[in-house]
Each structure stands twice: as structure tokens, then as C-alpha cells.
């Protein structure tokens, strides 16, 4: 195993050196070879990527598997996601073709996904990464926060370097804290927060890749942050027809009894995609309890009721605030 690992590491190093000498367009075609070798590493439970001290613990590396066909979004949201993909595809053409390089400071494309929990922000980030043939590095902002002064900014730099070196799409989850207005400095925490945001903005400029932020509340965006975002996409809660599509998409391939009426479920429960997913999991647990061969309407209704109880308690604690759409 150790020998195996060493030889793989050597191979990856060599290949990486060679790939780095190729020009950008050709390099894209060879990147998959590196990914395949890294995959072998993951399967054998060791990482073949450069491991910068504690950076790995702050990043969840995902090999994206989901396509646009796995996403169910209201028509206008889907159109914006498709537009974002086109923008990313056309970016280098735009820059090189029209000589915009001179007036553009950065090659980074930054997107901001705004929306309530379970509306598909993380899933869409996965779809974007898959579309680009890149890995998705998910970072929760709270995992970067360090109580020692100056350490949070250092963590941000580390994460950006790590994603740049491994040519990954960087996804900042729960990014409200970084995206919100810079405070007037009142105390040490405020000045630390401002420092962190300044470092983030600088890293964003120098990244040369795709960075996606996910925020729940679109209020008080920091103007400097907003200027660096190419597109803000609001992930709305689905209406009944989209909910029906969500049920059907997420239940594809499952053993569903013929008495199940997805239209009825979609009218009865105003669920997000995340809620639908949880209701399906609950339904399966309920069915398993009575050893059923397939999931019946009764199981789904019970599954939905369980979700509803959970989310009602969340609503009453004020989690579901109104969103404002920017952009």
C-alpha cells in the first residue's frame, strides 16, 4: 500500500509538471488524467493533492456527479444558471477575443447564490463544477474562523491557494458573514472582520477561476463584495408544478407504489427541494418499519408530516426571513 502510494505520488508529480508546461487550452484536456489518479488516491484513502498543513480539514473536496438534468428549478432561475454557465464558457473568448484583458483586473468569475435552505444552492454549485470538469471545494466560512487574531485571514489565503493549485471550483457556504456590509470599526472584532473581508476581496481578484458564494439573506451586501460578483442568482422556493417535478426527479429509480400521487403531495406540502428529499428519506424509514416492498402514499404523507413538524418549529424561531433579490 505504502509503495503503491509512493509510486502514485511520483506519477502525479511528474504528470503535474508536464501538464503545467502545456498551454491552457491543451492543459484542460489533460486535467482529467490528474483527476483520475487523484481518484485512485481517494479510493485508497490517501490524498495525492498538495496538503498545506491544516487546509484539508477546512475543505470538503467533492468529485461532482450531478448534471443540469438532476436540478429542478423554476424556469427563470434555471435560465440564470444556464446564463452563468455560458458566461463562464465564453469568458476567455470575451477577454482574448475583444482584448478586454487590458481593462479587466481579474480572471475570476464570482457567483452568489442567494436562497433559503434546501433550495438547491449546493447542488447547483456541484452542477457548475461538473460542467467545467473540475472538482468542487466546499468551504464553510465558520470553519475558517479562528479565535487568534489574524489566523482567519491566513486560512482564507490557504484555501484560495489550495483551490488554485488543484484547479477546483471554490464554494463558500454560509457566506453571509463575509458578504455583509463592512462595519465601522468599534472594537478589535470589527477590525478583524474588516481585515478578513479585505483579504477575501484581494484573493478573489487573484484567483483566476470560479468562486461561488452561498448566502441565505441578501441584505446589506458589502458594496466592494457586490462589485466583484458577476451574477447574483436568487434561488426561489418552488411553486406546486416545480414541486411535482422535484418529487418525480428525486423519486426516479425508487420503488414507489402505484397509489402515490405526486401532484397531490406537491399541492399539500409547500416544500423546498431539501424538504422533499428529507420527506422521501422519512417515507422510506416508515415503509421499512412495516417491511413494505415499495413506498406507498401513506408512507409519503407520514414522511411529509414529520418534515413539516420539524420545519414548523424552524419557522417559528424566525429562520425563514424574507429575501431581497439583488442583480
Ligand X SMILES: Nc1ncnc2c1ncn2[C@@H]1O[C@H](COP(=O)(O)OP(=O)(O)OP(=O)(O)O)[C@@H](O)[C@H]1O
Helix (H, G, I), strand (E, B) or coil at 106: coil
Tell me the CA distances in angstroms from 118 to 34, 123, 133, one per residue in order.
Answer: 33, 9, 24
Nearer to ligand X, 83 or 104 (CB): 83
SS3 breakdown of the chain: % helix, strand, coil, rounded to 5?
A: 55, 10, 30
Q: Between 95 and 217, whose beta carbon lies closer to ligand X?
A: 217
Show contacts with Mg ion in window 96-125 (CB under 5 A). 121-122
The 190-229 contact track toward ligand X, x by CB under 6 A, reads ------------------------x-x-------------
272 contacts Mg ion (rule: CB under 5 A):
no
**Shortest CB 295 distance to ligand X, Å:** 16
Out of ligand X, Mg ion, none, which partner does residue 72 contact, by CB within 5 to 8 A per kind? ligand X
SS3 34: helix
The CB-of-118 to ligand X minimum distance in angstroms stands at: 5
Task: List the strands of the sheet with 60-62, edge to edge.
Answer: 60-62, 136-140, 169-173, 210-215, 109-115, 231-235
Stretch in the footprint of ligand X (CB under 6 A) among 50-58, 177-185, 273-281, 319-327: 273-281
158 binds, among Mg ion, ligand X, none (CB under 5 to 8 A by kind): none
Q: Which residue is nearest to ligand X (CB)?
A: 273
Helical ranges in 44-74 per DSSP H: 55-58
The distance of closest approach from Cβ of residue 154 to ligand X in the complex, given in angstroms and rounded to an integer, is: 26
Bridge partner list, 295: 256
Q: Which is nearer to Mg ion, 112 or 122 (CB)?
A: 122
When asked if residue 307 is in the footprint of ligand X (CB under 6 A), the reply is no
**Interface size with ligand X, residues (CB under 6 A):** 19
Among 108, 119, 155, 311, interactor with ligand X by CB under 6 A: 119
- In DSSP notation, 175-223 reads THHHHBPPPP--SHHHHHHHHHHHHHHHHHHH--SEEEEEES--SSB-H
Exposed, middle or buried by CB within 10 Å (0-12, 13-18, 19+), for 30?
middle
Least spacing, CB of residue 24 vs ligand X, in Å: 31
Nearer to ligand X, 119 or 193 (CB): 119
Task: Output the smallest distance, CB 95 to ligand X, in A.
Answer: 30
The residue whose grid cell reads 454560509 is 174
**Residues at the site binding Mg ion, with contacts judged by CB under 5 A:** 121-122
Amino acid at each position: 500500500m505504502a509503495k503503491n502510494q509512493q509510486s502514485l505520488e511520483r506519477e502525479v508529480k511528474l504528470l503535474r509538471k508536464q501538464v503545467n508546461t502545456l498551454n491552457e487550452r491543451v492543459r484542460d484536456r489533460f486535467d482529467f488524467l490528474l483527476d483520475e489518479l487523484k481518484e485512485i488516491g481517494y479510493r485508497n484513502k490517501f490524498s495525492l493533492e498538495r496538503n498545506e498543513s491544516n487546509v484539508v480539514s477546512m475543505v470538503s473536496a467533492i468529485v461532482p456527479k450531478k448534471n443540469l438534468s438532476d436540478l429542478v428549478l423554476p424556469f427563470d432561475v434555471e435560465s440564470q444558471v444556464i446564463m452563468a454557465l455560458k458566461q463562464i464558457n465564453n469568458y476567455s473568448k470575451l477577454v482574448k477575443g475583444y482584448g478586454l484583458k487590458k481593462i479587466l483586473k481579474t480572471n475570476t468569475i464570482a457567483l452568489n447564490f442567494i436562497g433559503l435552505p434546501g433550495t438547491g444552492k449546493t447542488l447547483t454549485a456541484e452542477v457548475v463544477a461538473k460542467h467545467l470538469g473540475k472538482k468542487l471545494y466546499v468551504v464553510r466560512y465558520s470553519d475558517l474562523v479562528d479565535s487568534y487574531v489574524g489566523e482567519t485571514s491566513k486560512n482564507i489565503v490557504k484555501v484560495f491557494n489550495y483551490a488554485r493549485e488543484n484547479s477546483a471550483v471554490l464554494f463558500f457556504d454560509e457566506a453571509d458573514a463575509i458578504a455583509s456590509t463592512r462595519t465601522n470599526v468599534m472594537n478589535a472584532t470589527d477590525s478583524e472582520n474588516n481585515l478578513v473581508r479585505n483579504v477575501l476581496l484581494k484573493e478573489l481578484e487573484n484567483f483566476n477561476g470560479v468562486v461561488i458564494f452561498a448566502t441565505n439573506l441578501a441584505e446589506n451586501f458589502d458594496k466592494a463584495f457586490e462589485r466583484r460578483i458577476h451574477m447574483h442568482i436568487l434561488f426561489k422556493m418552488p411553486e406546486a408544478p416545480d414541486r411535482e417535478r422535484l418529487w418525480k426527479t428525486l423519486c426516479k429509480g425508487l420503488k414507489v407504489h402505484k397509489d402515490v400521487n405526486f401532484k397531490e403531495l406537491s399541492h399539500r406540502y409547500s416544500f423546498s427541494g431539501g424538504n422533499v428529499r428529507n420527506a422521501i428519506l422519512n417515507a422510506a424509514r416508515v415503509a421499512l418499519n412495516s417491511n413494505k416492498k415499495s413506498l406507498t402514499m401513506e408512507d409519503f404523507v407520514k414522511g411529509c408530516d414529520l418534515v413539516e413538524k420539524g420545519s414548523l418549529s424552524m419557522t417559528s424561531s424566525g429562520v425563514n426571513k424574507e429575501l431581497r433579490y439583488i442583480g
